[in-house]
Amino acid sequence: MTSENHNSKSIFHGFWALTNRDLKKWYKEPILLFMSIIQPIIWMGLFGRAMNIGAMLTNNPLVPPQIADELMKNTFGVSDYFSFMSVGMLSFVTLFTTMFSGMSIVWDRRLGFLNKALSTPVARGTIIMSKVLSAVIRSLIQAALVIGLALLLGMQLSSSFTVLHLLGVFAALFLMCLGLSSLFIAIAIRSARWETQMAVMNLLNLPLLFTSNALFPTSFMPDWLQTISKVNPISYGTDAARQLLILPTINASQLAMDFAFLSVFALVFATMGIVLSWKYLSK
C-alpha cells in the first residue's frame, strides 16, 4: 500500500516533466510567442531600416560607390548593415528570453509551486536545470524564427553557407543561452519579489547589448568598452553566428575562441546554478 515506489529512479527523474511544464505555458499561449517575435521585428524593421548606417556611405554623393562598399566591408565585414544587425538581433532575442527565465522561478516561489516541488524527491539541481533548459529551448525556437524573418526582410547569407553552418549557429546560441539563463536563474534563486527581478533585468539588458558587438563592431569602441565587450558572452555568441551566417570568410581561430569562451561560460554558470540550488533553494 504505502511507499512502494522506491523503484529504479534516476537522479534526472522529473527533469523533462518540469521543463515541459514551462514550455506548455508558452506553446499553449501562442500570443506569448507572437509578442516575443514582435520585438525583433520592430528592431529589424524600424531600427535596422531607419538607422541604416550603410546608406550614410552608399547613398552619399560625397563618397564614391566603390570606396563606400570597401568602407562598409571594412567596418561591418559585409556591405549591408541590415545583415550585420539581423545577426545581432539573434543575441537580442535570446538575451531577453533567458532574462525572463529568472522571473518564472520567482513566480513558482510566490505561488507555492516551488515549495511543493521541493517536498518531493526530485533533485534540487533538476528543478533549476529544467528552468534553464526550457529557457534555452524557447530561445532557440525564437532564434530560428528571427533567422527566417531576417531572410524575408533581406538578410544576405554568405556564399559558403551550408546547413552545417546553421547547426554551428545553434550550437553557439545554445551555449550562450545555457550560460545566460543559468546566470539569471541564479540571481533569482532566493528572491520572492518579481519587482527585484524586473529591476535586475532593466539594469542589465541594454548595457549587455551595447557593450557587445551585436549592434556595432567593437573595434570602433573606446578601449575600456572593448575590454568590457571581451568578457561579454553576447559578443562571442554574436561573432560566432555572424561568421557562420553572413561573413564571406571564416576566421577559424576566432571561431574556435568563440566556442571555447561560450563553452566555459556555459559550464561555469550551469555548475554555479546547480551548486546554488543545493544550498539556497530551501532555506
Q: How far is CA 253 from the centre of its chain?
A: 23
Q: Which is nearer to other proteins, 132 or 150 (CB)?
A: 132
Q: Which is nearer to other proteins, 115 or 162 (CB)?
A: 115
Q: Which is nearer to other proteins, 80 or 108 (CB)?
A: 108
Whole-angstrom Cα distance, residue 174 to residue 231? 18
Q: Which is nearer to other proteins, 89 or 276 (CB)?
A: 276
Shortest distance (Å) from residue 223 CB to other proteins: 42
Shortest distance (Å) from residue 130 CB to other proteins: 10
Q: Which 3 state secondary structure label does DSSP give 140?
A: helix
Amino acid of residue 84: F
Whole-angstrom Cα distance, residue 209 to residue 207? 5
Shortest distance (Å) from residue 169 CB to other proteins: 31
Determine contact, residues 131/97, Cβ cutoff 8 Å: no
Q: Which is nearer to other proteins, 6 or 61 (CB)?
A: 6
Q: Which residues bind other proteins (CB under 8 A)?
A: 1-7, 9-10, 13-14, 16-18, 21, 24-25, 28-29, 111-113, 115-122, 192-193, 282-283
Shortest distance (Å) from residue 23 CB to other proteins: 11
Shortest distance (Å) from residue 177 CB to other proteins: 23
Q: Which is nearer to other proteins, 42 or 118 (CB)?
A: 118
Q: How far is CA 64 from the centre of its chain?
A: 38
Q: How far is CA 276 from the centre of its chain?
A: 22
Triad 33, 17, 102: Cα angle to 5°: 55
What residues have CB less than 8 Å from 4, skipping those under 6 apart?
A: none
Q: Which is nearer to other proteins, 66 or 120 (CB)?
A: 120
Shortest distance (Å) from residue 211 CB to other proteins: 32
Determine contact, residues 95/177, Cβ cutoff 8 Å: no
Angle between helices 30-42 and 124-153 (to 10 degrees): 50
Shortest distance (Å) from residue 192 CB to other proteins: 4
Q: Which is nearer to other proteins, 17 or 42 (CB)?
A: 17
Whole-angstrom Cα distance, residue 180 to residue 59? 39
Whole-angstrom Cα distance, residue 137 to residue 88? 19
Shortest distance (Å) from residue 190 CB to other proteins: 8
Whole-angstrom Cα distance, residue 247 to residue 174? 20
Amino acid of residue 34: F
